[in-house]
Amino acid sequence: MNVLKVNELMTVRQHGAMEYTTPPCDLDEVRGYRLARVQEELVRQDLAGIILYDQLNTRYATDATNMQIWCSHNEARYVYVPANSGAIVFEYGGKSLLSEGLPGVERVAKPITFFYMSAGQHVAERAKVWAVEMDAIIREHSGGNKRIAIDRLAPVGVQVMEELGYEVHDGFSVMEKAREIKSSGEILLMRKSIEVCERAVQRMREVLEPGITENALWAELHHGNIAGGGEWIETRLLSSGPRTNPWFRECSMRPIEQGDMVSFDTDLVGPYGYCCDMSRSWVCDAEPDDEQRRLYAAAYEQIKRNMELLKPGLGYRELTEKLHPMKEEYIAGRYGVAMHGVGLCDEAPAIYYPQDYDEVGYDGVFQEGMVMCVEALIGVEGGRECVKLEEQVLITADGYEQLTTYPLEDDWV
């Protein structure tokens, strides 16, 4: 078979059989929408352009990907998006093949790197060479505007740009605002990621039995994601029995025991780079006991009640004030947020609990096209177990639509 072009059929292997699938939407239309969102925000903030090193932001702006995890901790590839023309991808090794057919990419160039592994004692010298090149490129498009944004870069890179007279602004504020409203095509791609994730979650349920380790159970999620065309998983948040409380222990070699609560959070980056972030809690090979039912019922009610509040025009602070109240015994172990945005990964906004709003909360307004993850973490401080539930929902014109469909344990409540 010839090498497939970007928009042509992709091949995935599922359950031992070869399956050919086409993208669920016009990928070029999605790419055009996303680049336009970035450039509209640059214009709104009067910025000449944005330098992107964060690999999720480079993906959003161009859909060009290459070794995303490795490049997330090595500044080896980056993108420049001018406010008024196509993006320039500074690709690892200067290779253009990974950007072929991408409509928003004007050209591909070889990067100038100055992280320590690549530059050693010449970091400062190489950073200056990089800045001189960026200055020339920015001036081609900027009309003299020396206000730029950068999302993630070693301090020396920012310093040398400032020495050249640039006013450097926070690139994440640009990209988070650009990414918050999803197009109809993006939602179709997200649904595909959810489909792959939920199929893998079902496989986890099928193999859950006493004696399987947390790691072995978690591996089923990875397998299903990769086999279904997905990309990576951002965390390892699965624990069982007493390891569920307090929350945030990642999976281990602990064998799961009969009657254990098993709680997990997928944080899965699936096909086309879109995230499926859902949480479920099960009991291994047994009916839940009275305490497990009590915890589950509290989490179930919280997630349902809070989801029902979502609608366009609702303010973040107003939502915080309306959140379903938690019993005092659960407050100490509450999750870090009541809800958060999601797209290619977890995104703004973060909706905090009332107990945390004055310290870290911020305001804004929900809009049609935003996608939110509604969270519930219920456990008693010092208790044996926690229940973790989470649903992914789309803000619609008249309220919300739940995107995740894997069933909750309705008969436990």
Residue 55: pLDDT band by 50, 70, 90 thresholds? very high
Give tens-digit pLDDT for 224-263.
999 999 999 999 999 999 999 999 999 999 999 999 999 9
Distance CA(329)–CA(335), nearest Å, equals 14
* pLDDT value of position 4: 36
Q: Classify residue 46 by its DSSP letter.
A: T
pLDDT at residue 174, as a whole number: 98
Instruction: Give the model confidence (pLDDT) of 170-198 as tens digits.
Output: 999 999 999 999 999 999 999 999 999 99
- The whole model's pTM is what? 0.92
- Write the pLDDT tens digit of every residue in 77-127: 999 999 999 999 999 988 888 888 999 999 999 999 988 888 889 999 999
Mean pLDDT, residues 312-330 taken together: 97
| CA pair distance 31, 8, nearest whole angstrom | 15
How confident is residue 141, by pLDDT bands cut at 50, 70 and 90?
confident
Q: Which CATH architecture has domain 27-179?
A: 3-Layer(aba) Sandwich (3.40)
Sorted by where each begins, the domain ranges of the chain are: 27-179, 184-412
Contact 39, 84 (CB under 8 A): yes
What is the tens place of the pLDDT at every residue in 377-405?
999 999 999 999 999 999 999 999 999 99
Residue with tokens 């997990």: 264
C-alpha separations of 374 from 142, 232, 235 in Å: 41, 22, 18
Q: Are 63 and 104 in contact (CB under 8 A)?
A: yes
The DSSP line for 289-308 is: -HHHHHHHHHHHHHHHHHHT
- Reported confidence tier of residue 2, pLDDT bands at 50, 70, 90: very low
CATH class in words for 184-412: alpha beta
**Predicted pLDDT at 99:** 85
User: What is the DSSP secondary structure assignment for residue 52, as one 8-state letter?
Assistant: E
